[in-house]
Structure 1
Amino acid sequence: MSSGHIVKSYDEELESVRNTIVEMGGLAESQLEAAVRSLTERNSELALKTIEADKAVDELEHSVDNMAIRMLALRSPVADDLRLVISALKIASVLERVADYAANIAKRVIALNQGPTIAATSTIPRMGAMVRRMIDDVLTAYSNGDAELAYDVWVRDQEVDQLYNSMFRELLTFMMEDPRSITSCTHLIFMAKNIERMGDHMTNIAEIIIYQVNGEMPREPRPKGDKTSVTMIENDGSESN
């Protein structure tokens, strides 16, 4: 995706930024897979490794920040190049947050494993698989400057929201029927919410890519299917590390 600048090192710097973003996304996707697998396998050791792996994403974000700041200071990019650099800064920040959510899931897996085995839910692995595909596709869209694929990811988030809504209602019913399950079900709800928020962040990146390629954001309102935002556990769906 060369822009053909006269100074070859400038193209190399832009390519390095893109490659680092893709590496970040790949790590975030792997951490999501590991976090969900640690849940389904009740594997606290894998959960701990997932938490520890978050540091690598943080380091890559710092690398993107440093490269982007250097380019802004020394290259004075304009037009498409400026959009690319600013987009990289935004996307790196979003991917770092996605990795944080994966670590949050892993932390709750460890807490969940301290108690008795609960009935496995298939919804969280399904949500995880959907969001992993969104991550993979949005990275492809970013690498190729593919606004159409980015738009496809953008509209897909509603499917993740619908799964979350269904699971939320199911677990609320379960907690009302058996108060002993409240702690475990609350952990599961927060895990699902973390994945739902990852899907939201993929739509953020998709919008950034669409703007980067087309110079404008999608005109229609963002598709949104989360109906639980008025509940007590919403709190922006986030947990701080």
Structure 2
Amino acid sequence: MNTRLNFDTNLKQLKDMLIEMARKSENAIKESIYTLINQDIEKAKKVINDDTIIDELEHEINNKAIILIAKESPVAGDLRKIIVALKISSEVERIADNAVNIAKATLHIGLEKHIKEIVDIPKMMNLALEMLDDSLNAFLTEDIELARKCAEKDDKVDEMYGILIKELLGYLQKYPAQTNQITQLAFVCRYIERLADHSTNIAEHVIYLVTGQRYDLNA
């Protein structure tokens, strides 16, 4: 097989594995929020257990990238594509870790009655997941403008995070007996805020991929 064609085929496989990993992580986030809202203990345990699948995918991506670098000795733009894939896989793995942490928060709260209906947290999660979709599509299409738009939404997520944390801190005095639940919900808000940060990081990696320049979208 032509060397260039062989490299491109392997690079596409690497990208496909990365997108598969990202979609699994995205689904894990959705499932973890479902477990929180519905206090579904068994599903929460499944989210935690299934994280090993995502971890294994990350290992496969790392191994394939290392083999590609060793065998093909890519330079310039080609090497950058492999490095960016590795960086994005690391961000995606951390997103999956946040799903696990949300599921663990569900277990810590258990079946204790919620102090209020879980409505605002899913709204913040939906916006953070929009950011993740934007950043992944920007990666697939190498679209810098879409990458920048993804980062613009981060300010809104941060704003929602601030409002929710302030509200939850107010509940500490009002419901001292539910301190554990309030604390866990605050952690969940933090995990979603981190999801948005990881999506912004992916967008920054996309800009580096296309331009070769480091760019801080939070600046």
Whether these two folds match at TM > 0.5 is: yes
Matched, 1:98 2:95: yes
CA deviation vs aligned residue, 1:136-190 (integer Å, no higher than 9, x gap): 1211111111111111112211111111100000010111222112111000000
> In the alignment, is the contact (CA less than 8 A) between 2:150 and 2:203 conserved in 1?
yes
**Bigger helix fraction:** 2
Match of 2:130 among 129, 133, 147: 133
TM-score normalised to the size of structure 2? 0.95
Match of 1:193 among 177, 190, 196: 190
SS state at 2:73 partner: coil
Aligned to 2:159: 162
- 1:42-53 matched pairs, under 5 angstroms: 42-53=39-50
Matched, 1:146 2:143: yes
CA deviation vs aligned residue, 1:45-80 (integer Å, no higher than 9, x gap): 111111112111101100110011001111111111
> In the alignment, is the contact (CA less than 8 A) between 2:47 and 2:99 conserved in 1?
yes
Q: More deviation in 90-99 or 209-218? A: 209-218
What root-mean-square deviation, in Å, do the aligned CA atoms of Structure 1 and Structure 2 show? 1.4
Amino acid in structure 2 at the alignment position of 1:166: I
Q: CA deviation at 1:24?
A: 0.9
Q: Percent identity?
A: 37
Q: Distance in 1 between matches of 2:209 and 2:42?
A: 40
Q: CA deviation at 1:103?
A: 0.5
Match of 1:124 among 93, 109, 121: 121
SS state at 2:116 partner: coil
Aligned to 1:29: 26
SS state at 1:121 partner: coil
Amino acid in structure 1 at the alignment position of 2:44: A
TM-score normalised to the size of structure 1? 0.86
Amino acid in structure 1 at the alignment position of 2:149: D
Q: Distance in 2 between matches of 1:189 and 1:70?
A: 42
Amino acid in structure 1 at the alignment position of 2:124: M
Match of 1:206 among 197, 203, 207: 203
Runs of at least 5 residues in structure 2 that lack an aligned partner in the other structure: none
Matched, 1:88 2:85: yes
Q: Distance in 2 between matches of 1:84 and 1:154?
A: 21
> In the alignment, is the contact (CA less than 8 A) between 2:39 and 2:111 conserved in 1?
no
Aligned to 1:227: none
> In the alignment, is the contact (CA less than 8 A) between 1:26 and 1:136 conserved in 2?
no
Q: Distance in 1 between matches of 2:129 and 2:218?
A: 20
Q: CA deviation at 1:28?
A: 0.7
Runs of at least 5 residues in structure 1 that lack an aligned partner in the other structure: 224-241
**How many residues get paired?**
218
Q: Distance in 1 between matches of 2:210 and 2:95?
A: 23
Match of 2:13 among 16, 20, 36: 16
Amino acid in structure 2 at the alignment position of 1:41: N
Aligned to 1:226: none
CA deviation vs aligned residue, 1:106-153 (integer Å, no higher than 9, x gap): 011011124334322322101111111111121111111111111111
Aligned structure 1 segments of 4 or more residues deviating by more than 3 angstroms: none
Q: Distance in 1 between matches of 2:12 and 2:201?
A: 22
CA deviation vs aligned residue, 1:78-102 (integer Å, no higher than 9, x gap): 1111110000111111100110010
